[in-house]
Amino acid sequence: MKDEDAMNSEKKWPDCDPLVVKFRDYLRAERNRSELTVRNYTKALESFTAFANSLGEPWTWQSVDDGMVREWVIWMMDEQALKSATVNLRLSGLRTFYHYLLLTQAAKTDPCTRVSGPKKEKKLPAFVRQEDMRRLLDEMAWGEDFEGVRDHLIVEMLYQTGMRRAEMLGLRDVDIDLLHGQLKVTGKRNKQRIVPFGSALAGEVKRYQQLRDETFGTQSVDSPTFLDKKGRPLGAVEIDRLVKDALGRVTQQERRGPHVLRHSFATAMLNNKADLQSIQKLLGHASLKTTEVYTHLSFEDLKKEYESAHPRS
């Protein structure tokens, strides 16, 4: 009869590790975790086992300390080039495993207690370059009917003012001051701000309002400014669709919704030397830190220009 070590050597990991097998059973039976979670946590323990074995020294789950866990985190990031989200998921799996070992008294200490995972990478907001927006708004045909005039105005207004989609949906004619070129925008938590706009946009607004009233009758100043083709208040889905279709004419990037125009507004302002605090007020950000993400966008834009223009870049 083969001894236990020989039998275990013939088994495939993790089945050869009785603690891991019991842990997986515990997740399924007592914690009612999904099979996806069980697989992810198993991958975490498999990753740690591979790392620990690569050190070339004998080890057990009971001998692992926080220094070893930190080295594993660094190994995943540097040697395996894993994203921070994956590293944090695997670290969570190891933490859960040690909670189980403590619960069953299979270990006396948790080496993960003093180990922090890497910070998540911040995804930079998507934006459309100024030249592409100029081509879209100034050179491409939109149509002279109600929908064509409306759609052009919506894209132009979002780009010129940096409004959120919900803020545009809440816009009423009474909020639009054509004489002084400014909008009264109601943002998050019903906070209001004044956003200026130029004479060209004022002309577009006046043209749209006239065409809208000719088509559907004179509207109340307290009614929503933007209507659909049946004269009903325009909805969020319709704005998303028309903006996505419009931006698809000049960019193939995946994100092409109304918020991309808000990012494009902020990036264009910053690239053209606008003060960061002024951009904060125009966007309605409560904190300047929220606005500072656009300094990274501006740098990325500058980097692309450098790489395409400098002869030795």
CA distances from 114 to 34, 91, 107, 120 (A): 28, 12, 16, 18
Rounded CA separation 260/222 (Å): 28
Per-residue model confidence as pLDDT tens for the chain (313 residues)? 444 444 444 456 777 899 999 999 999 999 999 999 999 999 999 999 999 999 999 999 999 999 999 999 999 998 899 999 999 999 999 999 999 999 999 999 999 999 999 887 667 788 999 999 999 999 999 999 999 999 999 999 999 999 999 999 999 999 999 999 999 999 988 899 999 999 999 999 999 999 999 999 999 999 999 999 999 999 999 999 999 999 999 999 999 999 999 999 998 998 888 889 999 999 999 899 888 888 766 665 555 655 665 555 4
Output Rg (C-alpha) for the chain, integer angstroms.
Answer: 29
Provide the pLDDT for residue 8: 41
Phi, psi of 196 (to 5 degrees): -80, 160
Catalytic residues: 164, 188, 259, 262, 285, 294
Instruction: Please give the full DSSP string across 224-270, using - where no structure is assigned.
Output: BS-B-TTSSBPPHHHHHHHHHHHHTTT---S--SHHHHHHHHHHHHH
Q: Go through the domains of the chain in sequence order and give each one's CATH number.
A: 4-103 (1.10.150.130), 130-309 (1.10.443.10)
